[in-house]
C-alpha cells in the first residue's frame, strides 16, 4: 500500500486547526479527515461551540466557521425566546453531526415565524404561500422559506432514495439564521 506521502505529497500525519473562537489547536488525523465537510468538536471546556470545517485533499479549504450553541448575536427581545431555544437546539444538532435533526429544527423555527406573521393555512407550505401572496414576504424570502421547508421534509420523512446531501444542513441552518435576522432584527435597524 502506498504511503500518504506517496499518494498526496503531504508529510504530516495530522491536520492542526486553530479555533477562531478560543484559539485552541484541534488536531485531526489527516487520513481520517482527508476529504471531510462537517462539524468537529472544539476542545474548549465550556462546550459553547463547535467548528464547521471543509477539508479537501488533506487540507483545510476554507477557514473554520464557528457554530455557537448560544449565538452571541442573537438576543431576546427582539427574537422570541421559543425561536432562540429552537435555534440553539438546531446549532447543537449541527455541531454534533445530526443533519436530519438539524433541518427539522429549522423547519420548526419557520413554523413559529409563520404563526408570528399570522399566516393562514394548515400546512407550512400553505402558510409560506399565504405570506408571499399577501405581500408579507419578498420573493427572495419566499425562496428561502421554501428551501428550508423542502429540506426539512427530507430530514423529517424516511424516503429510501432521498437523503440530505453532504453539508446541506449547514446551508439550511445559515438560511434559517438569515430568515430570523430578516424578520426580527432588520426591521429594527431600518426603522
Ligand atoms: Zn474553540
Gap from CA of 64 to ligand 1 centroid (Å): 10
Gap from CA of 185 to ligand 1 centroid (Å): 27
Indicate whether 132 and 39 sit together in one domain.
Answer: no
Higher pLDDT pick, 1 / 82? 82
Indicate whether 177 and 138 sit together in one domain.
Answer: yes
33-57 CB burial, b ≥16 within 10 A, e <16: bbebbbbbebebeeebbbbbbbbee
Indicate whether 96 and 135 sit together in one domain.
Answer: yes
Gap from CA of 158 to ligand 1 centroid (Å): 35
pLDDT by residue (tens digit) across 164-179? 999 999 999 999 999 9
Spatial distance between the Cα atoms of 151 and 145, rounded to a whole number of angstroms: 10
Gap from CA of 19 to ligand 1 centroid (Å): 5
pTM, rounded to two decimals: 0.88
Mean pLDDT for the chain?
92
Task: List Cβ neighbours of 103 (8 Å cut-off, separation of 6 or more).
Answer: 148, 151, 152, 154, 155, 156, 164, 168, 169, 172
Flag whether pLDDT at 7 surpasses 90: no
pLDDT by residue (tens digit) across 53-103? 999 999 999 999 999 998 888 888 899 999 999 999 999 999 999 999 999
Does residue 77 have a cis peptide bond before it, meaning omega lies within 30 degrees of 0? yes
Indicate whether 94 and 185 sit together in one domain.
Answer: yes
Flag whether pLDDT at 185 surpasses 70: yes
Gap from CA of 117 to ligand 1 centroid (Å): 37
Its domain, for residue 62, covers 10-68
Residue with cell string 471531510: 36
Gap from CA of 71 to ligand 1 centroid (Å): 14
Number of domains into which the chain is organized? 2
Gap from CA of 182 to ligand 1 centroid (Å): 28
Is 2 part of any domain? Answer: no
Indicate whether 101 and 45 sit together in one domain.
Answer: no
Q: What is the DSSP letter of 150?
A: H
Amino acid at each position: 500500500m502506498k504511503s500518504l506521502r506517496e499518494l498526496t505529497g503531504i508529510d504530516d500525519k495530522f491536520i492542526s486547526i486553530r479555533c477562531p473562537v478560543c484559539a485552541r489547536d484541534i488536531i485531526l488525523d489527516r487520513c481520517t479527515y482527508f476529504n471531510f465537510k462537517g462539524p468537529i468538536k472544539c476542545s474548549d471546556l465550556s462546550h459553547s461551540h463547535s467548528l464547521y470545517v471543509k477539508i479537501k485533499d488533506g487540507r483545510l479549504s476554507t477557514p473554520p466557521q464557528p457554530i455557537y450553541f448560544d449565538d452571541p448575536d442573537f438576543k431576546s427581545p427582539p427574537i422570541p425566546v421559543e425561536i432562540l431555544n429552537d435555534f440553539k437546539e438546531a446549532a447543537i444538532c449541527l455541531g454534533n453531526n445530526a443533519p436530519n435533526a438539524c433541518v427539522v429544527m429549522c423547519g420548526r423555527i419557520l413554523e413559529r415565524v409563520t404563526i408570528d406573521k399570522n399566516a393562514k393555512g394548515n400546512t407550512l407550505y400553505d402558510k409560506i404561500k399565504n405570506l408571499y401572496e399577501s405581500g408579507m414576504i419578498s420573493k427572495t424570502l419566499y425562496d428561502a422559506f421554501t428551501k428550508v421547508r423542502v429540506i426539512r421534509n427530507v430530514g423529517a420523512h424516511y424516503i429510501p432514495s432521498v437523503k440530505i446531501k453532504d453539508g446541506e444542513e449547514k446551508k439550511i441552518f445559515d438560511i434559517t439564521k438569515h430568515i430570523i435576522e430578516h424578520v426580527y432584527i432588520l426591521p429594527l435597524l431600518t426603522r
